[in-house]
Amino acid sequence: MRKVAIVLSLVCATLMTTACKTTTAAKRYKSSPVTRDEIRLIEADTAGGATISISETSPDLRKYNENIRRTNVPYDVVTRLNKEIDKYIGTRYKYGGLNENGLDCSGFVFRVYMGALNLELPHSSAMQAKLGASVQKNELQFGDLVFFNIRGRGISHVGIYIGDGNFVHASTKLGVVVSNLQEKYYKERYVSARRIL
């Protein structure tokens, strides 16, 4: 009987340790507050944000749109995108980040589309806003990209629409999270949406 009690105690201790580790792992995704200088850099976007100027006849823009048109979108595209999105939920924000150690907004979009569809998008929200076709806010579908003007100088933030007014994005304070387009902050800063599939 005593042996059984000891074994049970060890099992309970192991389970509690695992639970603590899980909680700690979940907490690590909450990024610490950033400085004003870091926010300025972040909002300028990875590749220059709103300062990027790409004409409608730009070779770069044509290249990306041509790649998009050639991409064979699998029938289970929603499943694939969801799987990639789930992989990064909670990942901390990191300016210029492109992996599980940290992502910025356009880096998150880049990783999701590359991982789900092998579709390489530019690592810049301003450049991503020139891809595909324009979509009205009331016609948004799962997978559309939604764009925001955070600093009043053009597009500097991007997220992926997932339905019911919700979009997933890399927030500077919370990392990769789900927000709603009706939230005052995002409603006031919403600019446009693009469909790249």
Name residues whose C-beta falls within 8 Å of residue 43's C-beta, 6 or more positions apart in sequence: 49, 150, 151, 156, 157
Digit-coded pLDDT (tens) for 76-127:
888 999 999 999 999 999 999 999 999 999 999 999 999 998 888 999 999 9
pTM: 0.69
More confident residue, 17 or 56: 56
Judge if 144 and 95 occupy the same domain: yes
Ramachandran angles phi, psi of 59, nearest 5° = -55, -35
Judge if 18 and 45 occupy the same domain: no
Judge if 26 and 49 occupy the same domain: no
Judge if 116 and 20 occupy the same domain: no
Is 123 in the active site? no
Structural domain count, the chain: 2
Which residue of the set 12, 20, 123, 169 is catalytic?
169
More confident residue, 22 or 2: 2
Digit-coded pLDDT (tens) for 157-166:
999 999 999 9
Is 157 in the active site? yes
Residue 115 CA to its chain's centroid (Å): 12
Cross-strand partners of 148: 157, 190
Is 105 in the active site? yes
CATH number of the CATH domain containing 129: 3.90.1720.10
Residue numbers of the domain that contains 59: 32-195
Judge if 56 and 94 occupy the same domain: yes
